[in-house]
């Protein structure tokens, strides 16, 4: 918070004549985008004039160029880079894979301006720390991956090994086979870690996955609050507000003329646990705030 | 950043592999992070942690069921300490917890997905061979050892067997299985499951047949078809429909009994049910559900008694029909962190038709209303209190309150002590109260087998227990030890009395009549249950019970074997071979209802299995051996000819998933 105040002073000092303009482009009207936009606006209040624009209505050429563009969601980012803006673009509410794919697929004729991102994906270390904190006796983390997320296995393995954890994974190539593949995985794993891979984890498959995991008395660690409500033991995720604030901080630096940082992991995060499930599994868990504080401490210690 | 390039290329590959563009678009967007999901593990789906449960629970899970290779559910209860599972001719299993059982043990509740299959039939109890459920669809069997009426009502007087079937979303795809072996074992089963959007369904079918004991008529054949559909209109709601039918035939009786009074015959059984349940999640840990079910049972068992010259043809039958309708409501609510309450209400109507069982009225029925509430309160981090009660009213009796209080103290991590007390009542069954069996020919009353007693008081049980539950993470194991003391007053049994109706010289003037025993029964003992996985490839299960009964009428003091034990060893070998060996040891006991003493025995069951994907699909082949060792004697009724000796069974099974 203090840094924003300092930056605000910097920004005011460097741009005495004109207030900075920040366009906030939203992929969709859904609550996640609204909440992130609101958080970004609050953080930038007094520092820049913010304008919300729907991704569909976003037209780079039609308006005076803003100082900075904050995009919320993949579609918004695609729209913002489509016309090759010269203004810096800060993408939030976007998964790492989507960000990289959009950059790669951006039209070549108009070279894209500088961009950066605040990813939705939690850093691997944070997810592993959560497993260790909640389930100190469990060593084998099971991953169900599709060909699209298979590449995550190796970095997971390298991050797990020094922490005394092991990754065991199974590949689902056809969603019809989830049952068989999952039961193979559950024979080898002690806890499941869900990856944001809609080919495997979606509202149609979650029944099978959670019920099979419960039968094997293996908890699932999810990546959103919806997972905890559905029956995951816990989830670590960044709320839209947290992502919006982080994007706004980068925007404030950009307004002050500081170059965009490289794409980054979400800093602030939230931990949710399913106390009723924990009790049913015979686990005694600390309160959510204490777990989050412990996770932060573990990250500082690294 | 080395893996970033791989990320890109494999994402592209994945997208190329995608069938539709939508999937690709979804693949690389944030949808998954903000997607709403259905509530799967709603409050009622989550079993209470064993360490917090008010009582001892033994769980027989799907792996264990499959590892035993069993074709008969009742046999699985031999693995549960405190159970005696006698078997008699007519493919009849008579399991009871803590003895006190006769031909139809009726002091234990059996539920399938919350639906009571405790039949109003005959004396009450459960027809284990005719349950409309296939073994393949069972997810787990929870055996709640000890009186549980505060949660499950009057029929849970001594304990509860809770059979839970799998959610249909877990069983997409098909499977077929078959078995063949000696004693003419010929089985066939199939499963088909599918899913479309918010709806999933499953169909299971099973045909079982064998000739059973060689020493007496024991053959059975039966087919079961079940259906389950689960529909989720929204993320927080679920509608479940279950339905099933069973039709079977079992051989009873003996050739050449005097006057053919127990002549050979086939009894035909038809059971069917439909069960709806609607669940709605109200918030974290809160849920309401409303259910309705309809059970229907029909038995035809007829033969002819001949007593020439006066009565050359005396038609005899035990035909009966029963119908049950039940509605229930349940609300689970988390009132505060660490305080969870389950309360609900239930209404039921049982109707039983049988001119044989009710000679003068031909039918009988009763209504039942229940209201219950149970709270789980985490008073301290190391102390859990479970308290609750059920108020139950049968139409012909006054309302009775069954309370229960348990305290679970987590003495140290992984070590829990529990102490509890409960009181429960069992209302007399329709037959115990109004049964009137008469056999006549040409207008002459020849015999009255059962006479209505006039009035009966419900039985009452006061149960106390001390328990220990230990978890041993190093051995991947749990140990449950339970010391119990049960005192039953007004125990209902039957005794011989002179029939007021039958003229003496010709036929037996003695008739049976239910009565409330004047002497209290005290049942005491200790049970232990150990389950460990010392190595990844090995499971060991040990059950042991030492039981004593005093004060029971007739021979029922001997209805528990002094001790019984079972040991199961499950081993998984490299190369997808597996084996299971179970040893049972039971000391001598004498079941009620006119049974002869059953001598002590030791028996072995074994199974060797091989899993393969050689056919391109998962398949499993197994050889199962049952009742091995010296052929032992099972339950023999005093009216039968010669002892009932088990047959050693051997069969091979094959299962293919596709």
Kindly list the distances between the CA atom of residue B137 and the CA atoms of A213, B47, B205, B224, in Å, as whole numbers in the listed order.
17, 19, 10, 12
**Mean pLDDT along residues B549-560:** 93
What value does the CA radius of gyration of chain B take, rounded to a whole number of Å?
Answer: 26
Render pLDDT for B97-111 as a digit per residue (tens, 0 to 9).
999 988 888 899 999
Q: What is the pLDDT of residue B221?
A: 95
Q: Which of B632, B547, B636, B639 is nearest to B591 (CA)?
A: B636
Q: Which of B363, B389, B355 is nearest to B374 (CA)?
A: B389
- The Cα–Cα gap between B169 and A184 comes to 17
pTM here is 0.86
A147 Cβ under 8 Å from any chain B Cβ: yes
A151–B28: do the CB atoms touch at under 8 Å? no
Lowest mean pLDDT segment, chosen from A48-52, B540-544, B545-549, B635-639? B635-639
Q: Is the dihedral of CA B124, B125, B128, B131 positive or negative?
A: positive
| Range 119-148 of B in CB contact (< 8 A) with A | 139-140
Q: What is the pLDDT of residue A46?
A: 87
**Mean pLDDT along residues A30-54:** 93
Residue B320 contacts residue B281 (beta carbons within 8 Å)? no
B5 Cβ under 8 Å from any chain A Cβ: no
When scoring A173, A231, A241, A274 by the number of chain B Cβ atoms within 10 A, the one with the most, hence best to mutate, is A231
How far from the centroid of its chain's Cα atoms is residue B528's Cα? 20
Q: What is the pLDDT of residue B506?
A: 59
A94 Cβ under 8 Å from any chain B Cβ: yes
> Is the bond into B309 cis (omega within 30 degrees of 0)?
yes
Token pair listed for B150: 């505060």
Length of chain A counted residue by residue: 302
Res. A62 pLDDT band, cuts 50 70 90: low
Which residues contact residue B320 at a Cβ distance below 8 angstroms, ignoring those fewer than 6 apart? Answer: B121, B122, B297, B298, B299, B352, B353, B354, B356, B357
- The Cα–Cα gap between B371 and B359 comes to 34
Q: Is the dihedral of CA A78, A82, A83, A84 positive or negative?
A: positive
Name the 3-class secondary structure at A36: helix
Kindly list the distances between the CA atom of residue B56 and the CA atoms of B81, B352, B478, B527, B591, in Å, as whole numbers in the listed order.
10, 34, 12, 10, 25
A120–B33: do the CB atoms touch at under 8 Å? yes
Residue B428 contacts residue B514 (beta carbons within 8 Å)? yes
**Mean pLDDT along residues A98-121:** 83
Res. B614 pLDDT band, cuts 50 70 90: confident
Strand order in the sheet with B510-516: B437-441, B444-450, B510-516, B492-498
pLDDT surpasses 80 at A108: no
- The Cα–Cα gap between B592 and B555 comes to 6
First to last CA, chain A: 24
A8: phi > 0 → left, psi -120 to 50 → alpha, else beta; which?
alpha
- The Cα–Cα gap between A214 and B46 comes to 9
> Which residues of B are less than 8 Å from A226 in CB distance?
34-37
Cα angle B522, B523, B526 (rounded to 5 degrees) comes to 140
Q: What is the pLDDT of residue B508?
A: 67
Task: Say how many CA atoms lie within 13 Å of A62 toward its Cβ.
Answer: 6
**Mean pLDDT along residues B83-104:** 90
B572 Cβ under 8 Å from any chain A Cβ: no
- The Cα–Cα gap between B353 and B535 comes to 55
Render pLDDT for A265-293 as a digit per residue (tens, 0 to 9).
999 999 999 988 998 888 888 999 999 99
Render pLDDT for B469-516 as a digit per residue (tens, 0 to 9).
999 988 889 999 999 999 999 999 988 888 877 766 556 678 889 999
Tokens 């305080």 sit at which residue? B339
pLDDT averaged over every residue in chain B: 89
ipTM for the predicted complex comes to 0.89
pLDDT surpasses 70 at B125: yes
């Amino acid at each position: 918070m203090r840094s924003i105040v300092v930056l605000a002073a910097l920004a005011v000092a460097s741009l005495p004549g004109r207030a900075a303009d920040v366009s906030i482009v939203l992929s969709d009207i859904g609550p996640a985008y609204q909440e992130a936009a609101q958080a970004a606006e609050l953080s930038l209040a007094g520092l820049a004039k913010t304008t919300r624009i729907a991704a569909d209505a976003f037209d780079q050429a039609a308006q005076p160029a803003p100082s900075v563009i904050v995009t919320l969601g993949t579609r918004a980012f695609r729209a913002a880079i489509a016309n090759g803006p010269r203004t810096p673009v800060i993408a939030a509410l976007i998964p790492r894979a989507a960000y990289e794919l959009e950059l790669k697929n951006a039209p070549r004729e108009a070279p894209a301006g500088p961009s950066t991102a605040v990813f939705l994906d939690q850093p691997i270390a944070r997810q592993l720390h959560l497993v260790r904190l909640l389930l100190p006796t469990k060593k084998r983390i099971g991953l169900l991956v599709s060909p699209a997320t298979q590449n995550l296995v190796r970095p997971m393995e390298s991050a797990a090994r020094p922490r005394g954890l092991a990754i065991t994974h199974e590949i689902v190539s056809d969603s019809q086979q989830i049952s068989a593949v999952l039961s193979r995985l559950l024979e080898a794993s002690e806890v499941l870690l869900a990856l944001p891979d809609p080919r495997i984890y979606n509202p149609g498959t979650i029944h099978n996955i959670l019920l099979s995991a419960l039968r094997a008395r293996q908890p699932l660690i999810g990546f959103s609050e919806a997972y905890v409500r559905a029956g995951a033991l816990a989830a670590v995720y960044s709320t839209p507000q947290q992502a919006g604030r982080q994007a706004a901080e980068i925007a404030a630096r950009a307004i002050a003329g500081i170059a965009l940082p490289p794409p980054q992991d979400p800093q602030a995060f939230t931990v949710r646990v399913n106390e009723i499930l924990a009790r049913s599994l015979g686990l005694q868990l600390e309160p959510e705030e204490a777990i989050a504080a412990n996770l932060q401490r573990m990250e500082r210690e690294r | 950043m080395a893996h970033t390039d791989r990320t890109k290329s494999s994402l592209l590959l994945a997208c190329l592999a995608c069938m539709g563009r939508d999937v690709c678009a979804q693949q690389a967007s944030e949808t998954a992070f903000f997607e709403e999901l259905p509530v799967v593990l709603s409050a009622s789906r989550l079993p209470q942690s064993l360490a917090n449960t008010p009582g001892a629970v033994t769980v027989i899970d799907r792996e264990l069921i499959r590892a035993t290779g069993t074709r008969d559910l009742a046999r699985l209860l031999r693995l549960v300490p405190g159970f005696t599972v006698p078997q008699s001719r007519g493919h009849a299993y008579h399991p009871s917890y803590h003895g006190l059982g006769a031909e139809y043990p009726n002091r234990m509740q059996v539920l399938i997905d919350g639906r009571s299959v405790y039949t109003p039939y005959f004396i009450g109890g459960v027809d284990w061979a005719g349950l409309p459920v296939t073994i393949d669809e069972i997810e787990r069997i929870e055996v709640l050892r000890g009186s549980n009426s505060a949660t499950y009502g009057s029929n849970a007087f001594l304990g509860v067997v809770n059979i839970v079937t799998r959610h249909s979303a877990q069983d997409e795809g098909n499977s077929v299985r078959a078995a063949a072996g000696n004693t003419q074992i010929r089985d066939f089963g199939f499963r088909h499951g599918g899913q479309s959007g918010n709806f999933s369904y499953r169909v299971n079918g099973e045909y079982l047949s064998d000739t059973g004991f060689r020493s007496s008529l024991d053959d059975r054949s039966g087919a079961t078809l079940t259906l389950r559909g689960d529909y989720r209109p929204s993320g927080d709601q679920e509608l479940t429909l279950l339905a099933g039918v069973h039709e079977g035939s079992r051989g009873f009786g003996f050739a050449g009994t005097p006057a053919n009074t127990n002549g050979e015959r086939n009894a035909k059984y038809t059971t069917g049910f439909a069960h709806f349940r609607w669940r709605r999640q109200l918030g974290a840990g809160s849920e309401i559900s409303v259910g309705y079910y309809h059970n229907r049972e029909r038995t035809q068992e007829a033969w002819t008694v001949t007593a020439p010259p006066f009565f050359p043809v005396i038609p005899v039958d035990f035909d009966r029909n029963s119908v049950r309708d039940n509605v229930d409501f349940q609300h689970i609510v988390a009132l505060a962190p660490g305080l969870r309450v389950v309360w609900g209400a239930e209404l039921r109507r049982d109707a039983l038709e049988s001119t044989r069982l009710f000679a003068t009225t031909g039918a009988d029925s009763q209504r039942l209303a229940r209201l219950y509430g149970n709270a789980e309160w985490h008073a301290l981090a190391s102390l859990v209190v479970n308290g609750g009660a059920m108020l139950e009213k049968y139409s012909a009796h006054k309302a009775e309150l069954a309370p229960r209080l348990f305290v679970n103290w987590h003495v140290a991590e992984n070590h829990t002590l529990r102490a509890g007390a409960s009181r429960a009542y069992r209302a007399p069954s329709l037959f115990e109260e109004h049964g009137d069996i008469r056999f006549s020919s040409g207008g002459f009353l020849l015999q009255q087998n059962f006479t209505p007693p006039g009035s009966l008081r419900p039985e009452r049980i006061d149960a106390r227990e001390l328990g220990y539950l230990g978890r041993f993470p190093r051995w991947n194991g749990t140990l449950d030890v339970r010391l119990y003391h049960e005192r039953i007053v007004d125990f209902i049994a039957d005794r011989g009395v002179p029939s007021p109706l039958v003229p003496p010289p010709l036929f037996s003037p003695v008739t049976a009549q239910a009565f409330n025993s004047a002497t209290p029964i005290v049942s005491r003992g200790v049970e232990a249950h150990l389950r460990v996985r010392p190595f990844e490839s090995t499971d060991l299960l040990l059950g042991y019970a030492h039981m004593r009964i005093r004060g029971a009428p007739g021979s029922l003091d001997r209805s528990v074997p002094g001790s019984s034990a079972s040991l199961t060893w499950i081993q998984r070998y490299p190369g997808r071979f597996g084996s299971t060996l179970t040893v049972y040891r039971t000391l001598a006991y004498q079941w009620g209802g006119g049974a002869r003493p059953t001598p002590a025995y030791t028996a072995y069951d074994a199974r060797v299995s091989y899993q393969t994907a050689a056919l391109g699909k998962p398949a499993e082949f197994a050889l199962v051996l049952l009742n091995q060792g010296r052929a032992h004697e099972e339950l023999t009724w005093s009216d039968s000819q010669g002892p009932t000796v088990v047959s050693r069974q051997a069969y091979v099974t094959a299962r293919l998933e596709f």
